[in-house]
């Protein structure tokens, strides 16, 4: 019989630990991090002491996705704001033309 190792699912405590550590690091050094995973790992080495390679990778990955999501949300808000201002202008022009 062949036994294959399957990585177990992360318990809730591990996910919360990664999120907690990431938010603590981001609160202090947010301007140093970006959207590149490899660069975030290097910055994490400079900023914090993480002995476990796997934990460091998970923290850097969480930080990367967090920043990407934050940038995406900013872009969506900007697009909605532009769309709202553009949709208001044509209506005002139509009223002037009708009068």
Query: Could you tell me the pTM of the whole model?
Result: 0.72
pLDDT at position 87 is: 75
- For residues 41 and 64, give the distance between their C-alpha atoms in angstroms, rounded to a whole number: 10
Beta-carbon contacts of residue 86 (< 8 Å; ≥ 6 apart): none
Better-scored residue on pLDDT, 79 or 90: 79
Output the average pLDDT for the chain: 84
Distance linking the first and last C-alpha atoms of the chain = 85
User: What domain count does the chain have?
Assistant: 1
Let me know if residue 1 belongs to a domain.
Answer: no
Let me know if residue 39 belongs to a domain.
Answer: yes
Residue-number span of the structural domain to which 26 is assigned? 13-98
41-89 residue pLDDT tens: 999 999 999 999 999 999 999 999 999 999 999 999 999 998 888 776 5
Average pLDDT over residues 13-42: 92
Let me know if residue 83 belongs to a domain.
Answer: yes
* Residue 7, token pair as written in the block: 């990585």
DSSP string of 24-87? HHHHHHGGG--S-HHHHHHHHHHH-----HHHHHHHHHHHHHHHHHHHHHHHHHHHHHHHHHHH
pLDDT at 3 over 70: no
CATH number reported for the structural domain that contains residue 27 in this entry:
1.10.60.20
Q: Which of 2, 52, 45 is nearest to 25 (CA)?
A: 45
């Amino acid at each position: 019989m062949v036994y294959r190792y399957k990585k177990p699912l992360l318990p809730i405590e591990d996910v919360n630990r990664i999120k907690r550590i990431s938010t603590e690091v981001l609160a202090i050094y947010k301007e140093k991090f970006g959207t590149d995973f490899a660069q975030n790992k290097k910055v994490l080495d400079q900023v914090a002491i993480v002995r476990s390679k796997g934990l460091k990778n998970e923290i850097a990955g969480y930080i990367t996705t967090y920043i990407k999501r934050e940038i995406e949300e900013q872009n969506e808000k900007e697009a909605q704001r532009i769309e709202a201002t553009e949709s208001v202008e044509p209506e005002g022009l139509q009223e002037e033309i009708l009068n």
